[in-house]
Amino acid sequence: MALRVVFMGTPDFPVPTLRALSEAGHEIVAVYTQPPRAAGRRGLELTASPVHREAGRLGIPVFTPLSLKGMDEQEAFRALNADVAVVVAYGLLLPRAILDAPRFGCLNGHASLLPRWRGAAPIQRAIMAGDTETGVMVMRMEEGLDTGPVALTHSTEIGADMTAGELHDALMPACAALMVEALAKLEAGTLGFTPQPEDGALYARKIDKAETRVDWSRPAQEVHNHIRGLSPFPGAWCEFGTGGKPERLKLLRSTLAKGAGANSGGAAGSGGPGTVLDDELTIACGTGAVRLVEVQRAGSRAVSASEFVRGSRLAAGAKLS
């Protein structure tokens, strides 16, 4: 017998999960998502969220409240008589009245190996910290931030040069499959939960634009992690000089230069931090060096480092800041 499900999500990450639950035969009685936001070059067009658009394609009623704290919103939610709410990257806090409304409570699909990286930006923070493994978990929600007991886990290796965008795309189908499994077990009465340990808990705070500029004085491994952890959005960046005028350069892909590990100061890093060391766009860091692979000038398309060097005539000895 299919479960009555309320689905709550907003960006593209939850879309495969919504689609998979529908295809699994569950009755999605409503979708909750963030209201349409201003978009477009001038910010004048209201654009529905990816989850909103997918719900429309599936013919599911959509609700876009600004908050769930009001009595009217809470009563409308209760009136849906859901067996369970599935929450994946929704973006609003759920008060106790919402958490308690569905018969089986609320299940959350979270993109980390809890308790590591609770919070808003677990994918980016895992890469920026140099983690070599992460995953997705299904947990039962409670009032604490990502503190509820865990039901199911899927682990994923983080490659040495993997970007946040690539990890995001790898975890989307994993989250969908795990949530389908969770609801099947919930329906069968076999879904168990294990409390999270408090040891190792870390908070994945939202990415602040103020932290996106590259600090070349840091070790090469940290610079590399910073670049790939912020790619493609919002993007790590630096500045380079063109005719005496600084120009912003977005850094989308990098790799460690040979001999430029976290504890290495090898020959590749024998210039001051930010110095261009060769025509392959190898950049000296505090220790070691990174080689830029893909970059993007403001208002231009993303290009390979070699194409950028040809167009900018950036030569060895130039400085990035």
Mutual orientation of helices 164-188 and 15-23 as an angle, nearest 10°? 30
Determine whether the annotation assigns residue 113 to a binding site: yes
Look-up: residue for tokens 């070599």? 132
Return d(Cα 140, Cα 196) in angstroms, integer.
11
CA–chain centroid gap for 285, Å, is 26
DSSP strand pairing (289-297 vs 245-256): antiparallel
Tokens of 158: 């983080």
The amino acid present at 248, given as its one-letter code, is R
Q: By C-alpha distance, which of 156, 155, 160, 110 is closest to 130?
A: 160
Nearest to 15 by CA among 74, 90, 78: 90
Count of alpha carbons within 13 angstroms of residue 153, beta-carbon side = 14
Query: Binding site annotation covers 114?
Result: yes
Amino acid symbol at 18 = L
DSSP code of residue 170: H
- The answer to the question of whether 231 is labelled as a binding residue is no
Is 14 assigned to a binding site? no
H or E stretch including 56? Answer: helix 50-58
DSSP E strands in the chain: the ranges are 4-9, 27-32, 37-39, 45-47, 62-63, 84-88, 106-110, 118-119, 133-140, 150-157, 203-204, 236-242, 245-256, 282-284, 289-297, 302-304
- Whether 67 contacts 92, CB under 8 Å: yes
Annotated binding site: 112-115
Annotated binding site for (6S)-5,6,7,8-tetrahydrofolate: 112-115
